[in-house]
Amino acid sequence: MAKKIKSMHVIKQKDLIETAQNPFENITEANIDTDNNTIQGCCLFGRAESINNRIYQDKAIESIARLSEGVKCFANHPSKTEIKESDGVRKIQDWVGVYRNARRDGEKVFADLECRESYFDMMKDIALMQPADVGNSINARVEVFQNEKGMESVVDVNSLRSVDIVSSAATTISLFEAVKEENKNEELDILLETTESRVKDKFKILMVEEGIIQDQLDNEKIQDEIRDVTWIANRLLDKTIHDSDLNITDKKSKIIEIFDDLESEIRKRLSGIKESLNESKENKQMDLQTLKTEHPELVKVILKEAQKADNVVKLEADLDKFKTDLQEASDKVDKLTQTNKDQAKDLNKKIEDLGKELTEAKDKNSEIEKELDEIKVAEAFADKKAKINKQISESKLPKDAITDVWVNDLMKLEDIEEGATVEGQVKERITDRITLINKKSGEIKGSGEEFKQDLEEGNKNKKSTEDAGKDFLADSQY
């Protein structure tokens, strides 16, 4: 059930967007806290009677001040289409920061904007440059009624979704602040949205059509005319939307008439402004001609400065080209660096593989050297043994006198530094052996002819020393 005031006015709930102009009007460098990315003293709400033909009661202003503590700030309002597509969820990349230390000062509400680091520089520039078409815009759910004069009165603010920084002529945005009512006809909402996008650029489009150049768009007289026409159209639009005697079809027709009249009124007013601007331009041209005649030296200075400006433009163009060339060179260096890295990687892999092959070759070489050493030792041993066996064979020692122990002792002989070679030492050992055998033979059989005869008979039954040596060689194969 709708609320009532004094049994006269029906209070309705609605979504509302209200823009406060010049939110950084009193901001200076002293208000910029660079260490904490904060802009102090931003104006969130400006006055009780807004430019949109709306009156805010004291309780509503108090609620705005209370709800502003910790409220988010976004860059620009989303369109109705964006709201529908995102189910009312704002984009995180549009989040500028949070308002802190909210306070009320008369009809105004102030707070400190604590910015995200990525947005601080932009907000600092806006705060210090104070462009005329930038404002703080509250996005709220409010309670309203219409008074006897047909003006909308805001009784209270139930919720504050955000306070957004918007870049747009408040004259165009304000036309659509009060059109989103609870349970409003969807077809009317679509009509207003399409008309809104058409009207937002209407002022600039008409100015251009009237031949008013870009640098004259901020002319104070033009801005005054825009605000005046907008206020009138806003009242007509608001009255039409809330006229209970009109059905939806009649409202559509009436809205279209309002915007057609708005375009006609703007053209009429701009026509007069254009004549004024042209007269001013002619006067300036006359003044310039007088300047050339009466102050030629000053004109020379101006032309010289203009030439400097042209040179600056050329230098900037050269600088841009240099930056482009530098970037291309940097890209080439990066590409070459990457190529060199890839080549170095391949080269390191090859070196690593060669290192492994070299290690394997060294190991194999060591094995070969070991085998070769063993072969050399075996060959030396065989050579030594062959020489000793040859000496034994040539000595014609009896086979019984050639024992393994004696031969092994001969194999252990080495060359002596004093000059005694193995061959000489073996020869001495053989001689000693023969001498020993002769002594033993004489002791057994006596002496004289009898001994000699027995020795000869014994020799007949034995193999010669040479044959015994051959047998030894055959038995000593290795």
Q: For residue range 43-84, list pLDDT tens digits in order.
A: 888 888 887 778 999 999 999 999 999 999 998 877 767 777
pLDDT of the residue at 115? 96
| Among candidate residues 294, 314, 330, the one where a domain is terminated | 294
391 and 457 part of one domain: yes
156 and 185 part of one domain: no
pLDDT tens column, 257-278: 877 777 777 777 777 666 665 5
The CA dihedral of 271, 276, 279, 283, to the nearest 10 degrees, is: -160
Query: Which residues, in sequence order, are bridge partners of residue 42?
Result: 111
In this structure, what token pair is assigned to residue 115?
């910015």
Report helix angle 248-294 to 202-209, nearest 10: 50
Range with the poorest average pLDDT among 23-27, 67-71, 236-240, 329-333 = 236-240
Helix (H, G, I), strand (E, B) or coil at 184: coil
Contact of 198 with 175, CB cutoff 8 Å: no
Is residue 15 one of the residues assigned to a domain? yes
Report helix angle 465-475 to 296-395, nearest 10: 140
pLDDT tier at 119, thresholds 50, 70, 90: very high
pLDDT tier at 454, thresholds 50, 70, 90: very low
Contact of 179 with 199, CB cutoff 8 Å: no
76 and 151 part of one domain: yes
**CA–CA separation, 115 vs 134, rounded Å?**
17
Range with the poorest average pLDDT among 45-54, 204-213, 446-455 = 446-455
**CA–CA separation, 263 vs 265, rounded Å?**
5
Give the H or E element holding residue 155: strand 152-167
Is residue 348 one of the residues assigned to a domain? no
3 and 43 part of one domain: yes
Range with the poorest average pLDDT among 105-114, 201-210, 355-364, 439-448 = 439-448
114 and 243 part of one domain: no
| Among candidate residues 232, 259, 294, the one where a domain is terminated | 294
155 and 205 part of one domain: no
Interstrand relation of 32-33 and 38-45 (parallel, antiparallel or unpaired): antiparallel
pLDDT tier at 210, thresholds 50, 70, 90: low
Q: Where are the alpha helices (DSSP H) in 68-146?
A: 80-85, 117-129
In this structure, what token pair is assigned to residue 334?
């990066």
Report helix angle 248-294 to 296-395, nearest 10: 100
Is residue 405 one of the residues assigned to a domain? yes
Mean pLDDT, the chain, whole residue set? 75
pLDDT tens column, 217-253: 555 666 666 666 666 666 677 678 777 788 877 887 8
- Where do we find the tokens 């009436």? 254
Is residue 316 one of the residues assigned to a domain? no
Q: Indicate the residue type of 188.
A: L
Is residue 351 one of the residues assigned to a domain? no
Is residue 423 one of the residues assigned to a domain? yes
Is residue 373 one of the residues assigned to a domain? no
223 and 106 part of one domain: no
Which one is predicted more confidently, 444 or 309? 309
Domain extent, residue 188, equals: 172-294
| Among candidate residues 149, 168, 187, the one where a domain is terminated | 168
pTM: 0.38
25 and 116 part of one domain: yes
Give the H or E element holding residue 470: helix 465-475
18 and 161 part of one domain: yes
Which one is predicted more confidently, 193 or 306? 306
- Where do we find the tokens 């059509």? 209
Contact of 162 with 73, CB cutoff 8 Å: yes
pLDDT of the residue at 39? 94
Contact of 186 with 199, CB cutoff 8 Å: no
pLDDT tier at 318, thresholds 50, 70, 90: confident
Across residues 301-307, what is the average pLDDT? 75
66 and 184 part of one domain: no
Least Cα distance to 35 among 98, 97, 95, 115 occurs for 115
153 and 188 part of one domain: no
Instruction: Report the sign of the C-alpha dihedral through residues 243, 246, 251, 254, in that order.
Output: negative
Give the distance from CA 210 to its chain's centroid: 48
Which one is predicted more confidently, 469 or 348? 348
Q: For the chain, percent helix, then strand, then coil, each to nearest 5?
A: 60, 20, 20
Least Cα distance to 16 among 59, 90, 77 occurs for 77
First-residue to last-residue Cα distance in the chain: 125
Give the distance from CA 372 to its chain's centroid: 64
pLDDT of the residue at 82? 73
Q: Is the pLDDT of residue 452 over 90?
A: no
Is residue 361 one of the residues assigned to a domain? no
193 and 154 part of one domain: no
Helix (H, G, I), strand (E, B) or coil at 114: strand
Across residues 74-98, what is the average pLDDT? 81
Which one is predicted more confidently, 446 or 310? 310
- Number of domains observed in the structure of the chain: 3
Give the H or E element holding residue 182: none
pLDDT of the residue at 51? 74
